[in-house]
Amino acid sequence: MKRTKISEVLKLPPNQQQLTVMGWVRTFRNNQFISLNDGSTIENLQIVVDFTTFPEELLKKIHTGTSLKISGKLVPSQGKNQTHEIIANTIEILGECDPEKYPLQPKKHSLEFLREIAHLRMRTTTFQSIFRIRNGLAFAIHQFFQNRGFVYIHSPIITASDAEGAGELFQVTTLDLNNIPKTADGLVDYTEDFFGKPANLTVSGQLEAELGAMAFSEVYTFGPTFRAENSNTPRHLAEFWMIEPEMAFYDLNDNMDLAEEMLKYLLKYVLDNFPKELEFLQQRQLDEEKQKPQNERSSMPLIEKLQFCIKEPFERLTYTKAIEILENSSYNKKKKFQFPVQWGMDLQTEHERYLVEKEFNKPVILTDYPKDIKAFYMRQNDDGKTVRAMDILFPGIGEIIGGSQREERLEILEQRMKELNISTEEMYWYLDTRRFGTVPHAGFGLGFERLVQFCTGMSNIRDVIPFPRTPKNCEF
Ligand code: 4AD
Ligand code: MG
């Protein structure tokens, strides 16, 4: 079954050479032109069929979705939409596809409809473009860190800790939920459970990455994370992927520099390697935007937006300064924010987007948040009120990265954990890094799907992961 991939075919000079290609039919026009796609590129290959030389029985079985093996001669195409075509000598049907039942038709489908058939949507040009870019970004992330000597640490998926302390945990248990063993005082007897204590899916690999940084000095994780937050938004998934670098001997400024350099590297990688996919997605977005009211349209086409974010230095300012800007904004005065602005509040997406899209018109890094809205491990500032946190906010997305300098001083960390009712005994393994040769260190978490969203211009996060998991939705 020697086949030539369509991506390779399109690079050959067409001079009557005999080739075999295989793929799925996108369209079959006038009993004469097959548009074939094999997923090796988003481009289709035109196959010319002389219907007088093939049995009608065979041609009747060719529909959108049918899989074919075709041999023929590669020639230059006269058509205006392609450079190459194959004149078919033999056509073999690998798998039939009933046109009455096949849900993908050669027309535009809504993204919502395609989400219902996530097992087939990868056959569309839109999703092939998105998942090729996703694949490229995963590769580029490893390349970025490996080029700099960072060590990839596989943090565990099952843990007994809640790294973020937000309580959004998926529990992992082998107990029979219809017959739960109980202790004398009526509570669940976890000694009977698989690990002999409560366990959950990880919300972050950071704490384990910190142990790695205390040995290798520069490490990163890249794995799935799970959050049982009941938020049905276009930016939240219950299962998403996170990249978490962690670096010894870095302060918050070093951390911001690395994050900015990484994001720019990744955007450039996409621009350099996926021009056709970006063109396609940009056109898709422009068509979609025409349906929206003027004030909700994105101000820049996709490609220009990526170029712009590479060129501009990110704006860096403190949370406190950002609150001042929001308070004094005409938006606030006209009461356009749904959530009123005041120091101490967690910024809502509307506030983040105001700063990025209206005030600065570029990516923004906010630092030094109130300690009460951030996790226990962040380094406390001398003001007693704020911590060395940083969030990176992107146009159209809001928060894409969250990170901080870590609290490396044992007593201060223990004190904070006690205030938040986090057991210092159970977390002895984490605190040991502060007991034995502690050093200043910092790190951050990049939400992989939010990055893919930004690079593809997709407005819903469910459209940038092959199999989205959200509340009440775990199909396929
Ligand atoms: O800000 P978060 O919660 O930070 C952490 O988990 C830290 N442990 C990271 C670190 O310092 N090592 O999450 C980091 C990023 C967010 O900025 C966001 O991009 C993404 O993860 N994220 C989500 N993406 C999709 N769905 C969700 N439910 C997400 N929650 C967070
Ligand atoms: Mg965050």
Please provide residue 171's backbone torsions phi and psi, each rounded to the nearest 5 degrees.
Answer: -75, 145
Q: Is 205 in the pocket of ligand 1 (CB under 6 A)?
A: no
- Give the C-alpha separation, 421 to 438, whole Å: 23
Residue nearest to ligand 1 atom 7, measured at CA: 445
Please report which ligand is nearest the Cα atom of 225.
1
3-state secondary structure of 45: strand
What is the token pair recorded at 66? Answer: 């049918």
Q: Partners of 69 in the beta sheet?
A: 22, 92
Task: From 242, 244, 376, give the residue whose CB has the most ligand 1 atoms within 8 Å, as the site to mutate.
Answer: 242
Contact indicator for 446, 403 with CB cutoff of 8 Å: no
Q: Is 402 in the pocket of ligand 1 (CB under 6 A)?
A: yes
State in Å, rounded, how far the first CA of the chain is from the last one: 31
Contact indicator for 95, 66 with CB cutoff of 8 Å: yes
Contact indicator for 393, 363 with CB cutoff of 8 Å: yes
pLDDT at 140 over 80: yes
199: nearest Cα among 168, 162, 239, 224:
162
Q: Is 468 in the pocket of ligand 1 (CB under 6 A)?
A: no
Question: What's the chain's Rg over C-alpha atoms?
Answer: 27
pLDDT of residue 445: 98
Query: What average pLDDT does the segment 35-39 reach?
Result: 98
What is the token pair recorded at 311? Answer: 């060129």
In the reported structure, the alpha carbon of residue 374 is separated from the centroid of ligand 1 by a whole-number distance in angstroms of 12
pLDDT of residue 1: 63
pLDDT at 209 over 80: yes
In the reported structure, the alpha carbon of residue 315 is separated from the centroid of ligand 2 by a whole-number distance in angstroms of 18
- Give the C-alpha separation, 360 to 347, whole Å: 16
pLDDT of residue 237: 97
Ordered structural domains, the chain, with CATH: 6-107 (2.40.50.140), 122-168+203-463 (3.30.930.10)
259: nearest Cα among 391, 408, 152, 395:
391
Residue 360's pLDDT band (boundaries 50, 70, 90)?
A: very high
Please provide residue 453's backbone torsions phi and psi, each rounded to the nearest 5 degrees.
Answer: -55, -50
The model's pTM is 0.96
